[in-house]
Structure 1
Amino acid sequence: MDVSIDMKKLADSLSGKLECSIYRVAEPRRCSNPSHYTPQMVSIGPFHHGKEELQPMEEHKRRYLKCFLQRTEVCMTRFLTLIKDKEAELRDCYAETIHNLGSDEFVTMVLVDAVFLIQTDDDRIFGKPELHWDIRHDLWLVENQLPLFILIDLFNLAKTKTCGDGFLKNMSFITISCALIGKYRGARLPIPKNLLEIHFPNAKHFLDLIVLCLQPADTKPRAGTELKDPNIPSLKELHQAGVKFKPAAGSTRNLLDINFNQGILEIPYLTLYGSTERLYRNLIAFESMHGYTGYFNDYIIMMGDLVKTPKDAELLIRNKIFGLGNTEALATTFRKLDKDCAIDNFHFQYSGIVADLQDYSKLRWHKWRATLKQNYFNTPWASISVIAAVILLLLTATQTVSSLIAL
């Protein structure tokens, strides 16, 4: 037996695992919110393949495959061969060894799931409102991913020979991906299409693509990034200190681009839906497990401190930064998400903004001016009353002085 060959196989296997990008969520994180990391309608990839509760969608996926093969002249054998040739590379994308699927079953699973994703831009299921969002939400889970490279390869192979309806002829997989995430983006995440196209070549899978797009444009470390005082003031406290709030300029502003300048705190527009917490948890988990800088982690911490109570959320609504009216849900959601995050005081991305907000809040003049405006000049009638009172006081003082002089 050649020991060197065995060592080479072991080294190759270990090297592959170091390049993985699809992970199992650790039990401590999963046990508190198991449904947020588990597909409810459809499994993608090996981690949840074969689960009984997800079997109803397997029949739909095989119908997709049949339709797909009818619209391309490429035979199924070529698709299976392509996947088989890349099986080792595909398996290495998963942080966990796939023991429960033999080679044939693994290759078949990849083909069926890949075609399902490719066909979703021209499907019959997503047109049904009752299934549309439930299925789509499952596509952004950490554990429910297929590597993008195999989707692209299968898509490009299908394009080599298309049938009479021109299926896929004038399309690219970037277009399909942008459509998938773009439709989700419209209701959940402000990610412009050009960012999706820029980051697509470097993305490992759909969730990775979203994380890459959410990273700040300027990722260079700033001087003095240490968060010296972790007590981030809430929006209500900032309001009382005279800070003004406005939505960040531009409809395509990055969700994480919070800025403070000349007494104005800019926060990108955000919305809250039933699935928002689930999506955010998976973004936090993947960002952490894949070793990315914790930009989204820091955003959740920052927003959790800014929006501590419904009163804070009301300020977002009043200033047209928050899209829905459930103020209690917004404050609660960020508080719950904050428990999944860990703050690094030495590399907190908003440390400079926090320091500026703290300094601004400490200046008494800002508080006095804010109090005067909020309590005495908050309505036209209140302003008129204050002005009238001041005039009356001046007249009274003038009369008193005149009387004293006359004496």
Structure 2
Amino acid sequence: MMDHSIEINEMTRSMNSTVENRKNSVNRAPWAERLTTRLEEECNTWTLPNPSPNAVPKQNASIFKLRYNQDDEELYKVCAVGIGPYNHHKSQEGLLFSDTEKRDTVMLSTRVYRIDFKTFFSEISPKINEVRACYAEGSFELDDEALSEMLFFDGCFIICAIMALSRGLLFSTWNKRMDREEEPLINACKSLVRKLNQKAREVMADLLMLENQIPFFVMHILWEHCFLDITFDGVLFKDVALACFDDLYPRRSRSRVTSQSSDFLHLLDLFHWSRSPIDRFREIATYSQPGLYISTVTELQASSVIFKKSASDFFLDIIFSERFFRTKGVIFIPEINLYAYSRRIFQNLIAFEQAYGLRGYGFTAYVECMAQLVQTEKDVSLLRSSGILASTPMTDKEVVDFYTTIRDGVHVEEMPPDLYELYEQVKDHVEHRPRFPNKWITISMFSVSILALTFLQALYSIIGYYAPTNGH
């Protein structure tokens, strides 16, 4: 008997061989052979690349070079000191601290504290790509050596300035380090502290500019590891920095404790965190009702909405509440203090929110709301009489211009849902609160109520007089 299975297997092998030969004949083209040979050789000789020692995970940039109109240039231009790669070796005309004076300050502190150069550069070297990732890609041109040197001098200057402006910590610690015989050194220290304090607001405002930042971990390296002849006794740099900014408006919330967070990006981020409500304004969305808005202070007061100074620890907390059976509405606004430096700080806080996007949008929402509430000098006057603007040195017109100008410069179409919720609450109250035709009807109804109560009281007195006592 013929074994058909063997025959079938031989036929299959023959067919496969034919197909393979056809494939080989097709692939035998000269270009295909050359390409195949080259790739095979490359594959055989390829070795795994060594990972870069400076490679870091992809992260969002947090320090940006801003685009602004020529009219707004003064708001973003440093006044006292240039910090970071965006302001490195820029025109020094008019600055309180030029590059030379900045280096002199660092050299002075080095003489007093003995700053460890070697430790700093050893610590920063493996993190230099992490530093670059904090800035918008391609936004500056500095090689690793120049960038590291800039970080050292700028970081040391920031620490000196903050210590000098933070309740005199710098000068007191310097006094402990200096001998009485070193009169020139003592005089230089006194001169630096005096100079910083004379222009304290300008220096602090510059340290809070978005373009004028260096990464916070650079400051941490300097503070923790590089000052050899001083002991900070467990005092953290972030706490000293916040103490330095305590006199700046908006005020810091006392419920914000730095132990709650440790991932600060830079000084502006620290300032923003210390002034922002917890777990609010974190999201942003396009609202489905583009016509939703809040009326002005004057218009709302005519609709039985009054304004009161809020006791909230967060100045961004604008809250609405209904009273007296929904016949009255109250908008609580924390006390407002505006100064000459305020617009620069607000503009940079909002620019940081818009550019970074991971720290919430509290300042954006606040300015949007206030710009709608305050549109005339009468609106401002009513807020003054409510104690909300009691200590602000700006005129009524300047306050209106303050919020309007910042709002016009932002051009934001999306806002946090928290803001729209406030708008909805106020709108619902204005549209659905109980209304009376006019005040005379209200007075008449009140008078009738009083008469009715008086009649009932007299009636109960008569009944009590004639009512029989027990046993009679």
Give 1:255 shift: 1.6
Q: Tell me the equivalent position of 2:384.
A: 317
- 1:33 maps onto 2:99 in alignment: no
In the aligned structure 1, how far is the partner of 2:47 from the partner of 2:64?
A: 31
Q: TM-score, normalised by structure 1?
A: 0.78
Give 1:151's match in structure 2, choosing from 219, 241, 252.
Answer: 219
In the aligned structure 1, how far is the partner of 2:281 from the partner of 2:355?
A: 22
In the aligned structure 2, how far is the partner of 1:213 from the partner of 1:368?
A: 48
In the aligned structure 1, how far is the partner of 2:427 from the partner of 2:420?
A: 11
Contact 2:86 2:140 in 1 (8 A): no
Count of aligned pairs: 357
In the aligned structure 2, how far is the partner of 1:196 from the partner of 1:36?
A: 30
In the aligned structure 2, how far is the partner of 1:211 from the partner of 1:152?
A: 18
Contact 1:301 1:343 in 2 (8 A): no
Contact 1:245 1:265 in 2 (8 A): yes
In the aligned structure 2, how far is the partner of 1:368 from the partner of 1:81?
A: 79
Which amino acid in 1 is paired with 2:347?
R
Give 1:217's match in structure 2, choosing from 272, 278, 285.
Answer: 278
Query: Residues 287 and 81 of structure 1: is their aligned pair in 2 closer, same or farther, counting only changes over 3 Å?
Result: same
Query: Residues 366 and 329 of structure 1: is their aligned pair in 2 closer, same or farther, counting only changes over 3 Å?
Result: farther
- 1:90 maps onto 2:158 in alignment: no
In the aligned structure 2, how far is the partner of 1:79 from the partner of 1:195?
A: 30
Secondary structure in 1 matching 2:141: coil
Q: TM-score, normalised by structure 2?
A: 0.68
In the aligned structure 2, how far is the partner of 1:94 from the partner of 1:22?
A: 5
Q: Which moved more, 1:278-287 or 1:78-87?
A: 78-87
In the aligned structure 2, how far is the partner of 1:12 from the partner of 1:354?
A: 47
- 1:206 maps onto 2:271 in alignment: no
Q: Tell me the equivalent position of 1:304.
A: 371
Give 1:199 shift: 5.4
In the aligned structure 2, how far is the partner of 1:319 from the partner of 1:249?
A: 13
Which amino acid in 1 is paired with 2:374?
V
Query: Residues 102 and 78 of structure 1: is their aligned pair in 2 closer, same or farther, counting only changes over 3 Å?
Result: same
Structural RMSD (CA) = 3.2
Q: Tell me the equivalent position of 1:361.
A: 430
In the aligned structure 1, how far is the partner of 2:259 from the partner of 2:299?
A: 39
Q: Deviations over 1:356-378 (max 9, x none)?
A: 21232235755877x78xxxx9x
Q: Tell me the equivalent position of 2:232.
A: 168
In the aligned structure 2, how far is the partner of 1:152 from the partner of 1:167?
A: 15
Give 1:260's match in structure 2, choosing from 320, 338, 347.
Answer: 320
In the aligned structure 1, how far is the partner of 2:85 from the partner of 2:311?
A: 42
Q: Tell me the equivalent position of 1:404.
A: none
In the aligned structure 2, how far is the partner of 1:112 from the partner of 1:235?
A: 49
Q: Deviations over 1:149-178 (max 9, x none)?
A: 11011111135x32xxx5534532123212
- 1:48 maps onto 2:87 in alignment: yes
Which amino acid in 1 is paired with 2:219?
L
Q: Which moved more, 1:133-142 or 1:123-132?
A: 123-132
In the aligned structure 2, how far is the partner of 1:43 from the partner of 1:274?
A: 20
Q: Tell me the equivalent position of 2:247.
A: 183
Give 1:65 shift: 1.6
Contact 2:215 2:266 in 1 (8 A): yes
Larger Rg: 2
Query: Residues 174 and 318 of structure 1: is their aligned pair in 2 closer, same or farther, counting only changes over 3 Å?
Result: same
Gaps of at least 5 residues in structure 1 are 378-386, 388-407
Contact 1:227 1:351 in 2 (8 A): no
Query: Pairwise mapping of residues 7-156 of structure 1 onto structure 2 (< 5 A)?
Result: 12=55, 15-16=57-58, 18-25=59-66, 27=67, 29-53=68-92, 56-97=97-138, 99-120=140-161, 121-122=163-164, 125=192, 127-128=194-195, 130-156=198-224
Secondary structure in 1 matching 2:86: coil
In the aligned structure 2, how far is the partner of 1:33 from the partner of 1:324?
A: 23
Gaps of at least 5 residues in structure 2 are 1-41, 165-169, 171-190, 323-328, 448-472
Contact 1:235 1:315 in 2 (8 A): yes
Q: Which moved more, 1:233-242 or 1:30-39?
A: 30-39
Give 1:221 shift: 8.1
- 1:335 maps onto 2:404 in alignment: yes
In the aligned structure 2, how far is the partner of 1:196 from the partner of 1:125?
A: 31
Q: Tell me the equivalent position of 2:25.
A: none
Query: Pairwise mapping of residues 274-289 of structure 1 onto structure 2 (< 5 A)?
Result: 274-289=340-355
Query: Residues 88 and 231 of structure 1: is their aligned pair in 2 closer, same or farther, counting only changes over 3 Å?
Result: closer
Contact 2:214 2:266 in 1 (8 A): yes
Give 1:227 shift: 6.4
Query: Residues 348 and 31 of structure 1: is their aligned pair in 2 closer, same or farther, counting only changes over 3 Å?
Result: farther
Query: Residues 4 and 41 of structure 1: is their aligned pair in 2 closer, same or farther, counting only changes over 3 Å?
Result: farther
Give 1:182 shift: 1.7
Contact 2:282 2:361 in 1 (8 A): no
Give 1:52 shift: 2.2
Q: Which moved more, 1:76-85 or 1:292-301?
A: 76-85
Query: Residues 220 and 101 of structure 1: is their aligned pair in 2 closer, same or farther, counting only changes over 3 Å?
Result: closer
Query: Residues 32 and 348 of structure 1: is their aligned pair in 2 closer, same or farther, counting only changes over 3 Å?
Result: farther
Which amino acid in 1 is paired with 2:306?
K
In the aligned structure 2, how far is the partner of 1:98 from the partner of 1:71?
A: 36
